[in-house]
């Protein structure tokens, strides 16, 4: 843990560590030169012998950097600096690259939003994996639309597999009151048990009961049996 903390600290003390490293390498070379001078070599011979004994200074520095910090982090910083210099030298290419990346990110974000809404995210209902849609087909097996009210009543009376059965038809409706002008919005005509099936609670009005499905049931909400989600 101490070693890891020291490596993390070196990220913020990089310049000071580099200065200390250069000073330490110079000190080692100076000590080796002094040793060879005491052995009777000339100054040039002692300097050359010290460098040979020391080996590659650049390699020694790289090994020291790897030991004191995270090598991959240093590589990333070096690559970023190099990429920044290259981009500054070619502003036209930089503009095209940034524009291409922006368009690519925007298209991918929009595409993922659509896929997430259609394929990945479930229906905005309670237990969406248990919700099924029932339709009708003609004698050739082609879709023939929804069910009539009589068919719905027959299914609801005879089925034993579903907890709730409800019907709906999407249609534009006019909504308004004394405070707001009438406006047409997309809504749906829904039968009783629809709110319970979806697990929704209306913000205005009440949920529908079985009596609301019967002919001649009293109207509500300014003459219309309606609820607003």
% of the chain surpassing 70 pLDDT: 87
pLDDT per position as a tens digit, 178-229: 777 888 888 887 887 888 777 777 777 777 777 777 767 776 554 445 555 4
The CA distances from residue 29 to 35, 68, 172, 180, 196, in Å, are: 10, 21, 88, 88, 84
**Segment 144-167 mean pLDDT:** 81
Q: Which two tokens stand for residue 49?
A: 């012998």
Asked whether residue 53 carries a pLDDT value surpassing 70, the answer given is yes
Residue 192's CB is within 10 A of a number of other CB atoms, namely 21
Residues 113 and 134 in one domain: no
**Segment 54-59 mean pLDDT:** 78
Asked whether residue 81 carries a pLDDT value surpassing 70, the answer given is yes
Residues 96 and 112 in one domain: yes
Asked whether residue 108 carries a pLDDT value surpassing 70, the answer given is yes
As to burial, measured by CB atoms within 10 angstroms (0-12 exposed, 13-18 middle, 19+ buried), residue 50 is buried
- Partners of 172 in the β-ladder: 186
Residues 228 and 129 in one domain: yes
Q: Which of 1, 24, 21, 25 is nearest to 13 (CA)?
A: 21
27 is in which domain, residue-wise?
2-89
- Summary mean pLDDT of the chain: 78
Q: Which two tokens stand for residue 58?
A: 């650049």
Residues 155 and 215 in one domain: yes
Name the 3-class secondary structure at 184: strand
Alpha helices in the chain (DSSP H): 2-10, 14-38, 43-54, 57-68, 71-89, 91-115, 149-158, 194-198
Asked whether residue 124 carries a pLDDT value surpassing 80, the answer given is no
pLDDT of residue 223: 47
pLDDT of residue 80: 86
pTM over 0.85: no
Name the 3-class secondary structure at 133: coil
Residues 84 and 135 in one domain: no
Q: What's the domain count of the chain?
A: 3
């Amino acid at each position: 843990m101490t070693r890891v903390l020291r490596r993390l600290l070196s990220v913020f003390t990089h310049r000071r560590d580099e200065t200390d490293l250069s000073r330490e390498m110079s000190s080692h070379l100076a000590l080796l030169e002094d040793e060879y001078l005491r052995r009777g070599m000339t100054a040039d011979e002692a300097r050359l012998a010290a460098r040979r004994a020391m080996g590659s200074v650049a390699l020694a520095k790289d090994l020291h950097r790897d030991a004191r910090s995270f090598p991959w982090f240093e590589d990333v910083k070096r690559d970023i600096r190099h990429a920044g210099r290259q981009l500054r030298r070619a502003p036209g290419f930089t503009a095209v690259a940034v524009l291409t990346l922006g368009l690519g990110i925007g298209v991918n974000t929009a595409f993922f939003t659509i896929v997430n809404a259609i394929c990945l995210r479930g229906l905005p209902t309670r237990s969406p994996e248990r919700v099924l849609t029932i339709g009708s087909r003609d004698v050739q097996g082609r879709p023939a639309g929804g069910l009539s009210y009589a068919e719905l009543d027959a299914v609801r009376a005879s089925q034993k597999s579903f907890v709730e059965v409800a019907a709906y038809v999407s249609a534009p409706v006019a909504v308004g009151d004394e405070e707001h002008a009438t406006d047409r919005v997309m809504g749906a005509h829904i039968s009783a048990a629809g709110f319970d099936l979806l697990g929704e609670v209306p913000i205005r009005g009440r949920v529908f009961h079985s009596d609301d499905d019967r002919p001649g049931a009293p109207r509500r909400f300014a003459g219309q049996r309606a609820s607003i989600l």
